[in-house]
Structure 1
Amino acid sequence: MANNSIPFAERLSPVRALFTSNSREGVLLIGIAVLAMVIANSALGEGYHALFHAPLPWTPIPKLWNAHLWINDALMVLFFFVVGLEVKRELVEGDLSNPQARRLPVIAAVAGMVVPASLFLALVGDDPQMHRGWAIPAATDIAFAMGVIGLLGRRVPGTLRLFLLTVAIVDDIGAVIIIAAFYTLEVKGIWLIASIAVAIGMAIMNMVKVDRVWAYFAATILLWFCVLNSGVHATIAGVVAALMVPMYRRNGKHLLEKVEHRLAPWNAYMVVPIFALANAGVDLRDLGPAGILAPLPLAIAAGLFLGKQLGILGAVAAAHKLGIASKPEGTSWLQVWGIAILCGIGFTMSLFIGALAFADNALLYEQAKIGVLMGTLASLVMGYLLLRFAPAKRLTVEQAEAKVESQVV
């Protein structure tokens, strides 16, 4: 139940942003991905690969011996930290705090992870090494998908924007759990105990209402270092640290909100683009047609493009039919289908999981990237076209806000 003493305009601020979302982040990611592909397939390809994968002349942490590792294991902690902040805010004060409002997105998100993973395993063949990529098509890139929504403007009802955002947040929670549970190879007990001790310390800071940003920043760095050495993937530290940031309000705002607002632009315009530049480039000349059309990339592309829409649309239709939850108000089934297709935009999280799944096999990792890019492109184009031309009676911004208010209050 939301706190009614908080002005509605403040409680709705994350939702209000959805009604005015722009396409800058999505367009930026598209541009970076294209740039990485062009460079990787040009005369600069060898230099591009060396820039990110050649050993550094010096590094303060031997475990991070090249730029690619610093980006994926260190810089991306900020991405996961912002994801954690967003998840906590939604669970405490947002749409995920309301059992009725979260029912449909949670059902859709779970189906949108299970069906793509199942389709991937059905198509990829009997090679157990390729089976490690089962989670790659289960992820949704929230920034990319919302960027496409921004291109469509008011053609997409506010209730559908909210539905997409909530599904993507639940999807992120699932992806974090998958990374922690299935992509941890060897755990070092001492470092794991140290990580737990730091996390408990941060929880105590929260309980005694420490509200200094620098204190949580320092604790997050320490937690990251301990997790990095524990064998659990270091980015999990970002999510855990974010969950320890306080939500109590002081002078109308809580610390979590302040931190999220400060970090969100850095995350959107620095961290994710750098990650995309380092991970999206794949030399098609090395793969050739046989590599591009191999079982792995086709299974990933099918999981993202077909699996996501089958899982999410099927779950929404079943929930609506059985009376468990109604489809988003003021929308047509064509529009719901379009949103389900857009959820197949995996990109950031899919590329990240691919790097973990095939860290010891460069060829399979390159093929995985091709699959992610193909599935993302197909989902982007088809989802955009369907939503662009789907006729529907749309809710106005005021009606959609009133609908959200009725769920929050």
Structure 2
Amino acid sequence: MCAAPRERQPFLGLLPWCERRAVAQALRAETVGGLVLLAAAIVALIWANSPGGSTYETVRDTHFGIAALGLDLSVGHWASDGLLTVFFLVAGMELKRELVVGELRTPATAALPVVAAMCGMLVPAALYVATASLRGGSLTGWAVPMATDIAFALAVLAVLSTSLPSALRAFLLTLAVVDDLGAILIIAVFFTSDLNILALAGAVAGLVLFYALQRLRVHGWWWYVPLGVVIWALMYNGGVHATVAGVAMGLILRTRPDDGRQGRKPEKSSPGDHTAHLLRPFSAGVAVPLFALFAAGVSVSVTSLEGVFTRPEPLGVVIGLVVGKVVGIFAGTYLAARFTRARLNPDLAWADVFAMAVLAGIGFTVALLIGELAFPTPAQADQVKAAVLVGSMIAAALAAILVKRRDRIYRRLSEEEDRDDDGDGIPDVYQRDQAGTT
């Protein structure tokens, strides 16, 4: 377990060694998955705008499944309601780990990223509402610009060949994890329809059984996979977006491994960590890119691009992502640091926090999902999707400029963090500062 944080630990300072290993493991798969995600989005745009664009819609709208169980869905719906459940399952496990053993386990360390993430959700929503209201547009898309896509953001960094210090990467990851929780709560509360109480009761009963199996230390995928599928199907038929089932199961999985006390068999890793290790590559490399493939294929033309900046709903999304995220995250972080008397790492500057706030304006995956839910009409949905793509691209370009300006400093800090002159597998900086060791 990580050592308890010291009083007034510098904000964006050196992470505890065990926390840094956990963050590195999580981001490694996300970085590779982000590159695949970027490729999938490009393929979708080319396919949808090619002479064979009609085949894109044909494949996306092809239905298959078991109609008697209410599961006769299109390929696009299987991607958003089925595959993204795996993404949110991993997100739930990451949030649980952060709450139990990570940066969010104590109020002192959680204050800054949580306040920053909440401001980074509220300000974009407020700017969307203001833009749509002033121009007579629909307010139903207020939640679209609230989310941060960690995989896409990391893909941008990978393309730039930039090595961020681990603290900046952890800050970005924590923002995205809290954003994911906010997004799933919004989906569960505001985007439900035709509730089937009986099916929902069955889903809740399944989650209770899932919890009991965890508490009783029952092992074996043959228990949890069939049960998880049943919970997912009942949640979908209950009228609540099926991805909520993924987050719920992720939060239930145990995060602390048994240490052999109370007569229990010692565990090398907790069920949550083990499951995340197995599912994260599939989530980042398969589930999210396939969703992007069938969600990002919008028609791109001069007229459609003009509509992004002239129609109130897409314009509100672009302003929310490009301006709202930056203002919300940076202002929230600065004010939280000021009132908690946190000290910014002297090796970094507030310009680095600003760059991360700009990078967090990449809202791709979850923004596309909420856009589909908020605007069921295909024409409106395509306009909002185009706005998400444009806003994310603008944020990525601005972030690239800001990050590159500080790249020399980032590389020096990363090299210092990674230096291991004695070859014992533990960077020397952690052996000079015993408070950071496990």
Same-fold call, TM cutoff 0.5: yes
Residue 357 of structure 1 corresponds to 374
Residue 347 (structure 2) pairs with residue 339 (structure 1): no
Per the alignment, in what secondary structure is the counterpart of residue 49 of structure 1? helix
Going from structure 1 to structure 2, the CA distance change for 1:375 and 1:404 (only over 3 Å counts) comes to farther
- Counterpart-to-counterpart distance in 2, 1:208 and 1:128: 55
Residue 224 (structure 2) pairs with residue 216 (structure 1): yes
Moved more, 52-61 or 133-142: 52-61
User: Which of residues 32, 36, 39 in structure 1 aligns to 2:44?
Assistant: 36
Residue 24 of structure 1 corresponds to 32
8 Å contact 1:160–1:328 — kept in the other structure?
no
8 Å contact 1:155–1:387 — kept in the other structure?
no
- Counterpart-to-counterpart distance in 1, 2:219 and 2:137: 46
User: Which of residues 311, 327, 336 in structure 2 aligns to 1:319?
Assistant: 336
Aligned AA (1:92): V
Moved more, 65-74 or 375-384: 65-74
Residue 307 of structure 2 corresponds to 291
User: Which of residues 74, 79, 85 in structure 1 aligns to 2:87?
Assistant: 79
- Counterpart-to-counterpart distance in 1, 2:398 and 2:158: 16
8 Å contact 1:136–1:351 — kept in the other structure?
yes
Per the alignment, in what secondary structure is the counterpart of residue 64 of structure 1? strand
Aligned AA (1:95): E
Per the alignment, in what secondary structure is the counterpart of residue 352 of structure 2? helix
Gaps of 5+ in 1: none
User: Which of residues 235, 254, 268 in structure 2 aligns to 1:227?
Assistant: 235
Moved more, 32-41 or 344-353: 32-41
Aligned residues: 405
Moved more, 104-113 or 253-262: 253-262
For residues 137-195 of structure 1, the C-alpha deviation after alignment (integer angstroms, 9 at most, x for no partner) is 00000111123234455652221111111111111111111111111123211111111
Residue 324 (structure 2) pairs with residue 307 (structure 1): yes
Aligned AA (1:179): I
For residues 23-49 of structure 1, the C-alpha deviation after alignment (integer angstroms, 9 at most, x for no partner) is 433332222111111111111111101
Residue 91 of structure 1 corresponds to 99
User: Which of residues 103, 106, 117 in structure 2 aligns to 1:109?
Assistant: 117
User: Which of residues 354, 378, 383 in structure 2 aligns to 1:367?
Assistant: 383
For residues 359-389 of structure 1, the C-alpha deviation after alignment (integer angstroms, 9 at most, x for no partner) is 2x11110011011001100111111110111
Residue 190 of structure 1 corresponds to 198
- Counterpart-to-counterpart distance in 2, 1:111 and 1:399: 37
Aligned AA (2:220): R
- Counterpart-to-counterpart distance in 1, 2:393 and 2:432: 33
- Counterpart-to-counterpart distance in 1, 2:231 and 2:115: 33
Q: CA RMSD in A?
A: 2.8
8 Å contact 1:341–1:379 — kept in the other structure?
yes
Task: Provide TM-score, normalisation by structure 2.
Answer: 0.84
Per the alignment, in what secondary structure is the counterpart of residue 131 of structure 1? coil
- Counterpart-to-counterpart distance in 2, 1:276 and 1:405: 44
Alignment of 1:153-302 (within 5 A): 155-249=163-257, 250-285=266-301, 288-293=304-309, 294-302=311-319
8 Å contact 1:105–1:167 — kept in the other structure?
yes
Gaps of 5+ in 2: 5-15, 258-265, 418-426
8 Å contact 2:112–2:333 — kept in the other structure?
yes
